[in-house]
Chains A and B, each alone.
Chain A
């Protein structure tokens, strides 16, 4: 039987994850087309670029990965169209690639609001290493920098400007920062903390135009008759799925963009899959890496003829450090579940905010928000993910430790099938096995299982399991002695 050709368009993190899986798990002949000049790199840690991490350190691809797996790769390659009838893909450069199966992992593009004056020099987006290079260049000629957009990426960008030595400001349309992940109280505390770092925060601002400034290069005029002067601007006002090719090929597209996929990540054409931020499942775009990887896994399984794994949406829990501030959101952070009950603790003095969203009977954790001290994330995430019944009255979960009745969380209470690393689908049993097979530190566990290798938010949970297992093993050793 002739080897089938599988074409992957897009070489971002998710596209690359699919390629990695396919390289080891399938019989397809692989062809990868990437638009950026370099192969996949770690976009999650993009801002580390400014703190000295080079493009090579960020790269996710070993030098001889493609060659050793016999994968054909074309970089700086702009696909122009997909001809579904002839099952070929045509590039701007005039090349034609035939496929049997096609994966679209085209990702997303930054959304730039239609503000007059947005196309001037020193106005940037924040997505690629090339964007970062341009920002770096502008920064050398600027004193003040503004990020439009107070979401997760916007704050990353603000940190970048701040680290580049600029007076940085964040301008947000919504009344609070990180409105997607955080509730109003969490957003307010985050704001306080960010302002304490001398980063200006301007919420509820609708930018009407960008004109020449008097003090700085530009002046941004807002709808409420206020303004802000700046030398450079970074747009980070959200993303839009990169679905042009799919559109042109006549695939089904969501009302507000995104390539519609089924539970196996197939588009309306069963031979074409879409994964990552370009894909729309159940009306949602998933802008985090973990669900992207999950889609890659599901698509690859299906390409391998398996129908036992599905993608029907993903948990968007996340834990981040933004401008040095620890922030985490778990599950239904906004408390949108009908009849749920929210308990929160806000400590202005110690700049901490903790909120739990509980089931109506207050027995299960549905979601949480943490700002300031996020160490409870490790304990709460498995509680939410595995729908565990809470052992203690939930009100103690959010009170400062001094007031809690017990440590509230026993790592041993987690069953082996409890998910620990969602990016790489590692459960507690996998980690235990790794430890019993001789792993003695985080590095070796990561190497063995993949846990904590992507977003890193499970690292401390892995450490706790390691510690608890080591103690248990030592105890059993003493007994057998």
Chain B
């Protein structure tokens, strides 16, 4: 670290300023941290970083709140017993070596993550493929963008993102398809929004079955039926052909298969009417989209999970790429396809070969690649064929073919589809190793060996964002306890397995140089991924490495913004390949028994399985409970009202969540967020409901479409439990934990009446010396119980059991924020006052904790008409701006309401 401080950090008083990269999505925003006394005192957007130019979203701006020792895994353990690192490493090494000796190399597997740094990823891949000799290493990126990888490779011969973020500013038309950019890539959303303000000509088309907040910047919404993307883009292909708006020169020089594709596609989606019917979208909208696309040279098409997470994800990607290739709109300023990846280092993982079907450094399992890599590694063995992809990999664990697995930095028990099979598989597996930063997790519960890993801000390395930009993540703080960086753990295990020679790395910089060398090794321009210009950088240069877009080689010593403008694809004849795709419905169709389509995705302020975002109080404000979004017609059909609990059943599993009713979803679909793990909610395990269908090329699961049925569940009671400290989830039918400023709120509901709340709470707080005071109010009909636990007049817990929802969060929070309550406040806890029913509503602005009802009241009472006025009156939306689309929607809804009133 001393070298780091001399190069990349500047001493300001006693604090240090260190640049790094955000831990969240694939945008890869640069950040500037101010660190003092081993804590981050400020974290802001890095104004010099090309990905964000200083912008941060709400998750990024609260990242420092998530860097804490609370809940961290700090010591290695074997079978639940704390052990030394030496013992843990040798246990892992022996577990794997013995399994390999008895059952062969394919009886072991690694399941890794887009959260790992490139250096961690590199050594994990090297160990599995070059030393163990199996390709059974797959990553959670499989769930995220493997269809893009497969699509890129089919079209380009390589997994190459041809364009840059700055093309978003130069485009005249931006197509956002299968991407809720506003929530999932908020900084790119802001860049597009800004570009639109600067250039009123810029049009934005959003293609999504749902109306998301991304529509706030849309000129046109194509609310297509789920799974019909290929029809839409094939129709566009045909329209471009019909209108003869092709780049014939580009087609001739750089593209294979036009005739054949044209012929095949001509048979499908012949007219706009065909497309409109197939996609179930108004014909005019299709016409408008096609016209804009046809007549605009500068088009960027961004696509994300809505495209990728499908049993036809790869075809969807290729149907998009086809349209860009035949118009030559690729690799030029303002033109090109742009896959938006979900994870901070999904791209880095792709580069090292972290997917089971790639080898290393964008090389595959071709004979010459295998030879090249083995020669470079000088390794004892090498995997000769692709390994098992995520879903198959866990099926192999379940069937006993894989007997030892090492899971790093990911939570497959929550995130994989048909997740109850994953948990059963881990239960059955003979040897499960989990490296993680948190002590309690749905996956770590199955670990035989638990290894404490260093988290964001505690380790050094590189990540690659969606535009191929390699940025440094830098160490800001020491790791808690005995946590170590993943690369170190992996190398130690490799050495303990006897692979001294390949793993004697002293630093991430060492690994990075080898990775860079391999990328250039026998490359000769044959492979897109080439950062050989960085192969000889010094430790100091590594420490000060500026964000750079690969390739970084002799030809592009300073990196490269765009590729393929003049062809140069990585297919045998260096021409891109058009793929004649056909629109197929999702693998599992809805039927009478399971008539609705379950769609899934992110919530605005949460990330993956919430192990990080849950730690930031601010990020828990937006949505305190998981929910299901249902169209009003569907709600009427099932007799469901807003706030009702809904049981959702697929043939794979079920969950219970609460209903939000909204016209923003199609009647045949419902939507549920992915985030809530069983650590935080006992009945929202979405992974267990999602079907196990996967794309045949990419192996990516069809997480956006599962046939389900729903029914209303009316619990006998519901409750809010507010406490100063975390408690084990009570064993009731529905329980969700929410972190808040003073502690936690548990949202509870159940069928069976609970009589023992008081003694249960006493047990939880039995550590408080001197005894508790309890004030209770109990009504028989309607059944309510309000129980407050105090110690020396300080409120420690409050339980409100009632039949209806309202509870005044703000007022109770104020009581919790006091060190002692006076008589009046204690009496209030027992009063019949309506105070407890005044609900500020679900949070819209997380930064300033402003609720929906507060904003609506302000709009109504003060006749507000703009986001700015709302900000002025309520402060909502005045910080990061992530909630501005929601405020705008509220304004529109209220204005609509007023107009209706005036009309009547």
Contact = CB atoms under 8 A, between A and B. Distances in A.
Contacts of A398: 775, 830
Interface in A160-216: 184-185, 188
Contacts of A362: 832
Contacts of A346: 772-776
Contacts of A188: 759
Interface stretch (A56-64, A114-122, A220-228, A401-409): A401-409
Q: Is the interface of B mostly helix, strand, loop or mixed?
A: mixed
Contacts of A395: 777, 826-831
A405 B823 contact: yes
B68 interface: no
SS of A interface (majority) = mixed
Given A347-B771, A349-B773, A362-B832, A396 B778 contact: no
B783 to A, nearest CB: 11
A385 interface: no
Contacts of B822: 403
B815 to A, nearest CB: 15
B775 A345 contact: yes
A345 B773 contact: yes
A403 B826 contact: yes
Interface residues of B, number: 24
8 closest A-B pairs by CB? A348-B771, A403-B823, A395-B830, A349-B771, A395-B827, A342-B778, A346-B774, A344-B776
B772 A393 contact: no
Contact of B823 (A342, A347, A348, A402): A402
Contacts of A390: none
A338 B780 CA distance: 7
B778 A341 contact: yes
A434 interface: no
13 contacts: A341-B779, A341-B832, A343-B830, A345-B774, A346-B774, A346-B775, A347-B773, A348-B773, A393-B831, A394-B830, A399-B827, A402-B823, A403-B826
A339 B781 contact: yes
Contact of B772 (A343, A348, A355, A405): A348
Nearest to B823: A403
B771 A399 contact: no
Given A344-B774, A345-B775, A346-B774, A396 B827 contact: yes
Nearest to A362: B832
Given A341-B777, A341-B778, A349-B771, A399 B832 contact: no
B197 to A, nearest CB: 56
Nearest to B758: A185
B770 interface: yes
B780 to A, nearest CB: 6
Contacts of A349: 770-773
Given A346-B774, A403-B823, 8 more contacts: A335-B780, A342-B779, A343-B830, A344-B776, A344-B777, A348-B772, A395-B827, A403-B826
Contact of B781 (A185, A338, A393, A405): A338
Interface string B770-799: 111111111111000000000000000000
A64 B500 CA distance: 111
In this complex, the member of A343, A348, A404 whose beta carbon has the largest number of chain B beta carbons within 10 angstroms is A343
Contact of A404 (B758, B781, B823, B828): B823
Q: How many interface residues does chain A have, given as a range?
A: 20 to 34
A405 B755 CA distance: 32
A337 B774 CA distance: 23
Interface in B815-850: 822-823, 826-832
A19 to B, nearest CB: 44
A67 to B, nearest CB: 57
Nearest to B821: A403
Contacts of A393: 827, 831
A184 B759 CA distance: 10
Nearest to B831: A395
B823 A343 contact: no
Nearest to B791: A349
Contacts of A343: 775-778, 830
Interface of A: 184-185, 188, 335, 338-349, 355, 362, 393-396, 398-399, 402-405
Contacts of B832: 341, 362
Contacts of B823: 396, 399, 402-405
A176 B157 CA distance: 76
A355 B774 CA distance: 11
Interface of B: 755, 758-759, 770-781, 822-823, 826-832
A185 B828 CA distance: 21
A395 B821 CA distance: 15
A404 B824 CA distance: 9
A192 to B, nearest CB: 10
A289 to B, nearest CB: 31
Contacts of A404: 823
A408 to B, nearest CB: 12
Given A362-B832, A403-B822, A342 B758 contact: no
A355 B778 CA distance: 10
Contacts of A348: 770-774
Contacts of B779: 339-342
A370 to B, nearest CB: 15
Contact of A399 (B755, B778, B826): B826
Contacts of B772: 346, 348-349
B811 to A, nearest CB: 16
A471 to B, nearest CB: 28
A350 to B, nearest CB: 8
Nearest to B772: A348
A241 to B, nearest CB: 31
Contacts of B775: 343-346, 398-399
Contact of A339 (B771, B773, B780): B780
Nearest to A392: B827
Nearest to B781: A339
Contacts of A345: 773-776
B777 A342 contact: yes
Nearest to B777: A343
Contacts of A399: 775, 823, 826-827
A185 B777 CA distance: 13
Contacts of B826: 395, 399, 403
A219 B266 CA distance: 93
A395 to B, nearest CB: 4
A398 B823 CA distance: 11
Nearest to B771: A348
Contacts of A347: 771, 773
A185 B772 CA distance: 13
Nearest to A351: B771
Contacts of A335: 778, 780
A371 to B, nearest CB: 13
A400 to B, nearest CB: 9
Contacts of B778: 335, 341-344
A346 B790 CA distance: 10
Contacts of B776: 185, 342-346, 355
A189 to B, nearest CB: 10
B136 to A, nearest CB: 51
B818 to A, nearest CB: 15
Nearest to B779: A341
A155 B184 CA distance: 67
Contacts of B759: 188
The residue among B772, B777, B830 with the most chain A CB atoms within 10 A of its own CB is: B830
Contacts of B777: 341-344, 395
A405 B829 CA distance: 15
Nearest to A336: B780
Contacts of A342: 776-779
A343 B775 CA distance: 7
A389 to B, nearest CB: 16
A182 to B, nearest CB: 14
Contacts of B781: 338-339
A188 B776 CA distance: 15
A399 B830 CA distance: 10
A10 B821 CA distance: 58
